[in-house]
C-alpha cells in the first residue's frame, strides 16, 4: 500500500496557493467516485451555482490505480454547468497513472485565474503559466503547444479544453491525451469558467511494491484473464462500434432523431465498415493491454493535382450513433469528419450530435428557420453539420448560444420539446426500451454507464417493475464500487467484488470490517445525497414524448410500464439520498 | 547472447505494460520510469510510439563513462548493472546516445539488462529477445 489515507493537492487559481492535504477515509470511500464525492463535500458549495469561482473541479484515482491492469481511469467531479448539480465524468488516457506517479490520490482545482492559464503538477512540481495567447485554440492545437511547454513525453498526461469550454457551452468536454475525454455534462466548461485552458500532470515518481508472492501472482492471473481469454475481444476487435448492427437488428438503434429505431442504411456506419474502411490503428490507456481506442483516418483532397491531407479521429459506438445514425449520415468517413470538428471545438460528441438531430427536425417541421440555423441542416449532409458544430463551439447567434446550453433549453424557447431526445442530457445510443429510458432519464449521471438498463431491456421481456428497479439500484452499486477503484467499466466482468477485495488485500489495503459492497452502498447514498441537496427532483424528471412513440423488438413502447418504472425509480433515489440525521 | 529488440513498434498501442512489467518484476517498483524500457510518443499520440530502450552498444558508452564499474560491458553488447557499486553520478545517462538510461530523482540509473521479462506482457508482440551475431575476435572485448 502506498498510504492508508488520501493525499490531495489543492490548487487555488485565485490566490495562486497550493495545499497538500492528507485526508482519512480510505476504508470508507476507497477512492475515485467515493473520494470525489467526499472532496466535494469538503471543497464544494451546495448553496452556490456551478459558475462560482470557488466551486472545485476534482480529479480522483483509486487505490489500485497502476497496481493492476485496467485500473486506468480518472474520475472528474464538478458542479455541472448543464444542470447545476453535482456530477462526474470518467476518462482514461494517461491521466490516472500520471496522477498516481505524481504521488496524488486527487487533484482539486479551485478559484479562477485572471487570464487564461495552464497548470502543471507533478510529484515535485506545481506551476501555472499564462497562456492567454491560446484563447480560441482548438483542442488539438492546444495539445501540440502544451507538449512543447511541459516536456515529458511518455510520462505526462495533458488535459485541455477547446473553444466550446472557453465560450461556456454547457456540454464542453475535457480532452485527455488526444483520444480520450471527460465528455459529458460540461467538465470542459467547469474548467473554462476558471480560465483554465489545460492541466499537465507529470507522472514522475515510483512506489515500492508489496513484498511476497500474492501481488505478482494475482497480477499475472488478472493480466492473463484480460489478454488470453475472449472476454475483452469485443473491445479491442471492432470496438464498441460492433453494437451498430445488432442494435439495428433489434430495432433499438436511435436513428434520425429517433424518428426510427432501425435503418436499412445502418451498414454504412457499422463497426465492420469502420474497421474495414477507416481503421488506422488501435491505442490504449496507460496500464491497459486491451487497446480499445479505435483511431480512424480520413483523407481529404484540399487542392487539385493530388494534394491530400489526412486526419486521425478516434471513434466508438456512441460517437457513431450520435453523429452518424441520429443525423442520418451513413458514410463512415463523413462521420469521422464531423467528429473531427467536434474534437477540435472541444464539445461532447453525443450531446452535439443529438442536439443537431433535434435542430434538423425542428427546421424540417418549421419550428425554427434558417434565420436561426444559418446553414440548411439536412439529414445526411455532413458538410453542413460540420459548419453547425463550429457555430456551437463559437456561437454566432442566440440560437446556437442556446443550443450549446442543451437541446431542451433551446426547445423550451423555440418549441419542439416533444421530439428533443433528452434523458437528463442528450441521450446515449440505446433505444432499447422502458428500463433504459428511465435509467438514463433519472440516473445519477444521466448516462448509459450508471447502470446497464439497456442490457436489461434486451434480455427481459417480462415487465416486472420491482425486479427492474432492483436491477438498476444493485447494478449501479456494483458499478460505483468499480468507479471508486477507478477501473474501466469494460473490465466489470473480471473485477467482481470478491476479486477487488482480493486485489486490495494483495497490496495491503485490507478492507476494514466492511465488504467493498458495503462501501459501494455508502458512496451510492452519499452521491445521491449531494445531488438531492443541490435541487435534483427525480420525481419531476420527464421523459419526452418521442420516447413513447417508438417501436422496439418488443413492439410499441409500453407507456404504463415506463411510468411505473419512472415513479418507482424516483422513489428509490429519494430513499437512497435521504438526508442523514446529522444533516437535519 | 540475447538482446531485447523493440522490433515492431508500429504495432505499439501505448499501454505501457512492458515498462510497468519491468518496473514491477525487475526493480520491484510501481513506476513507468524505474524501468529499463520506457514508452513515449513521437510527438503526441497521433504520431505513434517509440521505445526508449538500450540498443546494446558495443562498446557501450555508458559503461565507458561509469567511473566505478557499476555498469560493465556485456560480451556482445549492452551492460550488466551492479547497483551496489553505483555512486549516482549520472555520467551513464549523459553518455547514452539514445536516452535509454533513466535517472530517478535520487539519480539512480535504470537501464535495460536484456532479461526479456517485459516480452510476454506486450499484447501486440512488439518486443522480442534475439541472438546477436557472434563478434569477430579481432574486434576485441572480453568473453569473461
pLDDT given for residue A513 in this prediction: 67
- Picking from B105, B106, B123 by the largest number of A CB atoms within 10 A of its own CB, the best residue to mutate is B123
The CA distance from A78 to A58, in Å, is 6
CB contact under 8 A, B52 and A154: yes
Separation in Å, CA of B40 to nearest CA in chain A? 4
Chain B contact for A297 (CB, 8 A cutoff): no
Separation in Å, CA of A143 to nearest CA in chain B? 8
CB contact under 8 A, A286 and B32: yes
pLDDT given for residue A233 in this prediction: 84
According to DSSP, the β-strands at A6-12 and A106-110 are parallel
Report which of A361, A325, A331 is spatially closest to residue A253, judged by C-alpha positions.
A325
Interface of A with B in 39-78 (CB under 8 A): 66-67, 69
The CA distance from B79 to B94, in Å, is 15
Nearest CA in chain A to B40: A154
Chain A contact for B8 (CB, 8 A cutoff): no
Report which of A545, A335, A574, A351 is spatially closest to residue A469, judged by C-alpha positions.
A574
CB contact under 8 A, B17 and A287: yes
CB contact under 8 A, A206 and B39: no
Is the pLDDT at B140 greater than 50, yes or no?
no
Chain B contact for A179 (CB, 8 A cutoff): yes
CB contact under 8 A, A67 and B23: no
Torsion on CA atoms B116, B120, B122, B123, rounded to nearest 10:
170
Nearest CA in chain B to A140: B44
| pLDDT tens digits for range B96-115 | 999 999 999 899 999 999 99
pLDDT given for residue B135 in this prediction: 66
User: Considering CB atoms only, which of B15, B38, B41 is closest to A289?
Assistant: B15
Separation in Å, CA of A492 to nearest CA in chain B? 19
User: Considering CB atoms only, which of A155, A178, A209 is closest to B32?
Assistant: A155
Chain B contact for A144 (CB, 8 A cutoff): yes
Chain A contact for B31 (CB, 8 A cutoff): yes
Chain A contact for B34 (CB, 8 A cutoff): yes
Interface of B with A in 104-123 (CB under 8 A): 104-105, 121, 123
pLDDT given for residue A582 in this prediction: 65
User: Considering CB atoms only, which of A144, A207, A283 is closest to B29?
Assistant: A207
- Picking from A101, A284, A313, A314 by the largest number of B CB atoms within 10 A of its own CB, the best residue to mutate is A284
CB contact under 8 A, A291 and B15: yes
Chain B contact for A145 (CB, 8 A cutoff): no
- The ipTM of this complex is 0.88
pLDDT given for residue B143 in this prediction: 46
The CA distance from A186 to A340, in Å, is 19
CB contact under 8 A, B43 and A69: no
User: Considering CB atoms only, which of B13, B29, B121 is closest to A209?
Assistant: B29
DSSP A88-150: EEEE-TTHHHHHHHTT-SEEEEES--SS-EEEEEETTEEEEEE-GGGTT--HHHHHHHHHHHS
State the DSSP H helix or E strand holding residue A506, giving kind and residue range, or none if neither.
helix A497-506
CB contact under 8 A, B33 and A291: no
- Picking from A286, A295, A313, A343 by the largest number of B CB atoms within 10 A of its own CB, the best residue to mutate is A286
Q: How many CB atoms lie within 10 A of CB B143?
A: 8
pLDDT digit string (tens) for chain A, length 584 residues: 899 999 999 999 999 999 999 999 999 999 999 999 999 999 999 999 999 999 999 999 999 999 999 999 999 999 999 999 999 999 999 999 999 999 999 999 999 999 999 999 999 999 999 999 999 999 999 999 999 999 988 899 999 999 999 999 999 999 999 999 999 999 999 999 999 999 999 999 999 999 999 999 999 999 999 988 788 888 889 999 999 999 999 999 999 999 999 999 999 999 999 999 999 999 999 999 999 999 999 999 999 999 999 999 999 999 999 999 999 999 999 999 999 999 999 999 999 999 999 999 999 999 999 999 999 999 999 999 999 999 999 999 999 999 999 999 999 999 999 999 999 999 999 999 999 999 999 999 999 999 999 999 999 989 999 999 999 999 999 999 999 999 999 999 899 989 999 999 999 998 666 889 999 999 999 999 999 999 999 999 999 999 999 999 889 999 999 999 999 999 999 999 999 876 55
Q: Binning pLDDT at 50, 70 and 90, where does residue B47 land? A: confident
User: Considering CB atoms only, which of B15, B105, B121 is closest to A288?
Assistant: B15
Q: Is A467 helix (H, G, I), strand (E, B) or coil?
A: helix
Contact A204, A155 (CB under 8 A): yes
Nearest CA in chain A to B106: A205
Length of chain A (residues):
584
pLDDT given for residue B136 in this prediction: 61
Chain B contact for A285 (CB, 8 A cutoff): yes
Residue A86, all three cell numbers: 453535482
CB contact under 8 A, A147 and B43: yes
Amino acid at each position: 500500500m502506498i498510504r492508508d489515507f488520501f493525499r490531495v493537492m489543492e490548487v487555488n487559481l485565485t490566490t495562486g496557493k497550493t495545499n497538500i492535504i492528507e485526508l482519512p477515509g480510505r476504508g470508507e470511500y476507497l477512492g475515485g467516485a467515493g473520494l470525489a464525492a467526499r472532496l466535494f463535500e469538503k471543497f464544494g458549495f451546495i448553496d452556490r451555482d456551478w459558475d462560482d469561482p470557488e466551486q472545485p473541479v476534482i480529479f480522483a484515482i483509486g487505490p489500485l490505480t497502476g497496481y493492476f491492469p485496467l485500473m486506468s481511469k480518472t474520475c472528474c467531479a464538478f458542479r455541472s454547468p448543464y444542470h447545476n448539480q453535482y456530477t462526474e465524468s470518467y476518462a482514461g488516457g494517461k491521466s490516472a497513472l500520471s496522477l498516481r506517479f505524481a504521488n496524488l490520490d486527487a487533484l482539486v482545482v479551485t478559484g479562477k485565474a485572471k487570464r487564461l492559464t495552464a497548470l502543471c503538477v507533478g510529484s515535485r512540481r506545481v506551476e501555472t503559466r499564462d497562456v492567454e495567447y491560446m484563447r480560441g485554440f482548438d483542442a488539438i492545437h492546444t495539445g501540440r503547444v502544451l507538449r512543447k511547454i511541459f516536456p515529458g513525453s511518455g510520462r505526462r498526461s495533458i488535459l485541455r479544453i477547446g473553444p466550446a469550454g472557453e465560450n461556456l457551452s454547457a456540454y464542453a468536454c475535457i480532452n485527455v491525451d488526444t483520444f480520450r475525454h471527460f465528455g459529458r455534462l460540461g467538465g470542459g466548461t467547469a474548467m473554462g469558467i476558471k480560465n483554465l485552458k489545460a492541466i499537465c500532470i507529470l507522472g514522475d515518481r515510483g512506489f515500492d511494491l508489496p513484498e511476497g508472492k500474492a501481488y505478482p501472482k494475482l497480477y499475472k492471473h488478472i493480466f492473463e484473464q484480460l489478454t488470453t481469454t475472449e472476454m475483452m475481444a469485443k473491445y479491442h476487435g471492432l470496438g464498441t462500434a460492433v453494437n451498430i448492427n445488432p442494435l439495428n437488428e433489434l430495432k433499438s438503434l436511435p436513428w434520425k432523431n429517433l424518428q426510427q429505431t432501425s435503418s436499412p442504411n445502418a451498414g454504412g456506419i457499422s463497426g465492420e465498415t469502420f474497421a474495414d474502411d477507416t481503421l488506422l490503428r488501435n491505442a490504449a490507456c496507460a496500464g491497459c493491454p486491451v487497446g480499445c481506442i479505435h483511431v480512424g483516418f480520413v483523407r481529404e483532397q484540399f487542392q487539385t493535382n493530388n494534394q491530400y491531407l489526412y486526419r486521425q479521429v478516434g471513434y466508438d459506438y456512441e460517437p457513431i450513433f450520435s453523429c452518424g445514425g441520429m443525423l442520418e449520415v451513413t458514410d463512415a468517413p463523413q462521420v469521422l469528419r464531423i467528429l473531427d470538428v467536434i474534437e477540435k471545438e472541444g464539445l461532447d460528441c453525443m450531446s452535439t450530435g443529438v442536439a443537431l438531430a433535434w435542430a434538423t427536425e425542428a427546421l424540417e417541421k418549421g419550428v425554427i428557420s434558417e434565420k436561426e440555423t444559418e446553414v440548411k441542416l439536412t439529414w445526411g449532409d455532413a458538410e453542413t453539420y460540420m459548419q453547425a458544430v463550429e457555430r456551437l463551439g463559437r456561437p454566432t447567434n442566440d440560437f446556437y448560444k442556446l443550443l450549446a446550453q442543451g437541446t431542451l433549453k433551446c426547445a423550451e424557447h423555440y418549441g419542439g420539446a416533444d421530439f428533443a431526445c433528452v434523458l437528463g442530457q442528450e441521450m446515449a445510443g440505446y433505444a432499447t426500451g422502458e428500463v433504459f429510458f428511465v435509467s438514463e432519464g433519472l440516473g445519477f449521471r444521466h448516462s448509459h454507464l450508471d447502470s446497464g438498463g439497456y442490457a436489461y431491456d434486451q434480455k427481459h421481456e417480462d415487465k416486472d417493475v420491482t425486479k427492474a428497479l432492483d436491477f438498476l439500484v444493485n447494478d449501479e452499486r456494483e458499478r460505483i464500487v468499480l468507479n471508486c477503484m477507478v477501473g474501466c467499466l469494460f473490465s466489470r466482468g473480471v473485477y467482481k467484488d470478491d476479486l477487488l477485495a482480493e486485489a486490495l488485500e494483495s497490496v495491503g489495503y485490507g478492507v476494514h470490517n466492511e465488504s467493498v459492497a458495503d462501501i459501494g452502498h455508502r458512496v451510492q447514498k452519499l452521491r445521491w445525497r449531494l445531488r438531492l441537496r443541490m435541487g435534483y427532483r427525480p420525481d419531476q424528471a420527464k421523459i419526452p414524448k418521442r420516447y413513447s412513440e417508438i417501436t422496439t423488438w418488443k413492439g410499441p413502447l409500453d407507456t404504463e410500464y415506463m411510468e411505473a418504472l419512472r415513479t418507482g425509480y424516483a422513489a428509490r433515489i429519494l430513499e437512497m439520498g435521504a438526508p442523514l440525521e446529522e444533516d437535519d | 547472447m540475447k538482446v531485447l529488440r523493440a522490433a515492431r513498434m508500429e504495432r505499439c498501442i501505448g499501454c505501457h505494460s512492458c515498462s510497468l512489467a519491468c518496473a514491477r518484476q525487475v526493480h520491484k517498483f510501481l513506476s513507468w520510469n524505474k524501468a529499463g524500457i520506457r514508452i513515449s510518443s513521437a510527438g503526441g499520440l497521433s504520431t505513434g510510439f517509440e521505445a526508449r530502450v538500450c540498443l546494446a552498444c558495443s562498446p557501450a558508452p555508458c559503461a565507458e563513462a561509469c567511473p566505478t564499474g557499476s555498469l560493465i560491458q556485456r560480451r556482445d553488447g549492452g551492460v550488466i548493472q551492479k547497483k551496489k557499486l553505483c555512486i549516482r553520478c549520472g555520467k551513464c545517462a549523459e553518455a547514452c546516445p539514445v536516452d535509454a538510461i533513466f535517472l530517478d530523482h535520487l539519480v539512480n540509473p535504470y537501464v535495460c539488462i536484456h532479461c526479456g521479462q517485459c516480452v510476454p506482457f506486450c499484447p501486440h508482440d512488439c518486443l522480442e529477445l534475439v541472438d546477436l551475431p557472434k563478434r569477430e575476435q579481432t574486434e576485441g572485448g572480453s568473453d569473461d
